[in-house]
Amino acid sequence: MELKQNLLEYYKKDKIIEANNETKNFLIERDNEIFKLYQQGQILQGYKVISKLPKTIKT
C-alpha cells in the first residue's frame, strides 16, 4: 500500500515537472519569435524589450 502511494506521489511530481518544462519551453519559443521580429525591425509597437544585463554606474 505504501509503495503504491509513493509511486503515485512520484507520478504527480513528474507530471508537475513535465508541465513546468512545457511552459518554460513555450515561453522560450515565444521569446525567440519576438527576438526574431526585433532583429528584423518588425517588433510589435508597444512591446518593451528589457535587457537582462547589469547596468553600470557612471561615476
27 alpha carbon, distance to own chain's centre: 4
In this prediction, residue 57 carries a pLDDT of: 59
pLDDT category of residue 29 using cuts at 50, 70 and 90: very high
b/e 37-51 (16+ beta carbons within 10 angstroms → b): eeeeeeeeeeeeeee
Model confidence over 12-25: pLDDT tens digits?
999 999 999 999 99
Q: By the 8 A CB rule, do 38 and 49 touch?
A: yes
In this prediction, residue 35 carries a pLDDT of: 85
Kindly tell me if the per-residue pLDDT of 49 is higher than 80.
Answer: no
Specify the amino acid at residue 31: D
